[in-house]
Chain A
Amino acid sequence: MSLMRALAIGGFVVAIALFCAVEVAARREGSKIPRLGDVCAYVMRYEVGRLPVGRIGVFGLWWWMGWHFLAR
């Protein structure tokens, strides 16, 4: 395995570990950090007029991720 490949794998592993660490910290009693679900829910509340832009954006992103990883 080359150094660059190890660097890429290590970077993604660190990123995933950080996601998990922040979520664990958010779930502690009295934590000031919101859970990832709460952050997503807040973004999904964003509307322009009566158009739920936040919901459409978050749903669209998650839909695309599923298609990207699982269908192609």
Chain B
Amino acid sequence: MSFPGPTGASDNRGMDQSREITVEVPRAWDRPIVTMPVLVFLSLVGGQLPSFSTRANLYTISLGGAMIWLGLSNRLPRRPTVTPGRGTIWWLIPVAVFGVFEGSTFLLGSTPEFPTFSKLADPLLEDELVRSAVYLGWLSAFWGLVRR
């Protein structure tokens, strides 16, 4: 919630009113005890839908679309952000290792002998419980990104 200043006050016009310092009133439903069961329920439903099916496509596209709409519409309060320092460079190591293997397996045709990550994951994701768990991870991370 932001409080407007007194009418005609002009002594702080030059201040940067960034959204990072805006205090939001927490909503009653905006707590893990409410949101997590909803995400678990959506994940269990998603885990029942088989790969390559129209229902799975529509469900994933709809959920992702709803998350993006929430994330772009400024309807939810966002966590304050920090500017990362030079330590960010450490993240390049896992990204580079993953990129080298994903890129090389993709360029060589993603064969059973040298498969991409998604080809390796496909047999694991055929199990409904594993699909639901991955769905929960995907949705939870999406929810976290929306709040950023």
Which residues of A approach B to under 8 Å, CB–CB? 2, 4-5, 7-9, 11-12, 14-16, 18-19, 21-22, 25-26, 31-34, 36-42, 44-45, 52, 55-56, 58-60, 62-63, 65-72
Top-6 shortest CB links A-B: A34-B84, A18-B94, A11-B101, A63-B64, A15-B98, A33-B87
User: Which residue of the partner chain, among A19, A21, A62, contacts B142 with CB atoms under 8 Å?
Assistant: A62
Nearest residue (CB) in B for A36 is B91
User: Which residue of the partner chain, among A14, A21, A42, contacts B84 with CB atoms under 8 Å?
Assistant: A42
Q: In the bound complex, do residue A66 and residue B60 qualify as a contact, i.e. CB atoms below 8 Å apart? A: yes
How far, in Å, is B76 (CB) from chain A's closest CB? 13
Q: In the bound complex, do residue A69 and residue B81 qualify as a contact, i.e. CB atoms below 8 Å apart? A: no
Nearest residue (CB) in B for A52 is B72
Residues of A within 8 A of B125 (CB): 69-70
A15 to B97, CA, bound (A): 6
Q: Is the interface of B mostly helix, strand, loop or mixed?
A: helix
Question: Which of under 10, 10 to 19, 20 to 34, or 35 or more describes the interface residues of B?
Answer: 35 or more
How far, in Å, is A70 (CB) from chain B's closest CB? 5
Residues of B within 8 A of A39 (CB): 84, 88, 91
Which of A45, A56, A62 has the largest number of chain B CB atoms within 10 A?
A62
A11 to B105, CA, bound (A): 11
Residues of A within 8 A of B51 (CB): 70-72
Q: In the bound complex, do residue A70 and residue B138 qualify as a contact, i.e. CB atoms below 8 Å apart? A: yes
A71 to B144, CA, bound (A): 21
Also in contact, A18 and B115, with CB within 8 A (given A25-B90, A58-B145, A65-B138): no
